Amino acid sequence: MTETLERSAKFQIGQVVKHRIYPFRGVIFDVDPTFANTEEWLAAIPENLRPRRDQPFYYLLAENAESYYEAYVSEQNLLPDDSNEAIGHPQLADHFGELKDGCYSPKSNKIIN
């Protein structure tokens, strides 16, 4: 008999998170239940930092000190961002409303095209 382990996402759409290792933060706009990116993307990550495939992966409207971008990050590499500081990503206002308690309210069900 084979058991199926089902995991639920630890973070939610609109939540502000930060990377566990690298100095960036962002707001979640989508989630994959398990790894769904390319093999090339995964291989580009140093082996000692490469995330497991069997976990949720999150799409972020991300920012660091120099720029804004979209990021794809494993659950194991994210932490809640408790700073209550707004995200400055230029696409944020197109898809989310106000920030309350570390989470932005989505403007609609379809966040990013």
Closest CA to 98 of 80, 86, 88: 86
Domain membership of residue 93 (yes or no) is yes
In-domain check, residue 63: yes
Which is nearest to 74 in space by CA: 56, 92, 86?
56
Decide if 65 is inside a domain: yes
Please state, in angstroms and rounded to a whole number, the distance separating the CA atoms of residues 101 and 98: 10
Overall domain count for the chain: 1
Which range marks the domain in which residue 100 is found?
Answer: 16-106
Angle in degrees, CA 38, 2, 33, rounded to 5: 30
Cα 57 to chain centroid, rounded:
7
Tens of pLDDT, residues 57-104: 999 999 999 999 999 999 999 999 999 999 999 999 999 999 999 999
Put simply, whether the predicted model's pTM sits higher than 0.75 gets the answer yes
- Residue 1 within any structural domain of the chain: no
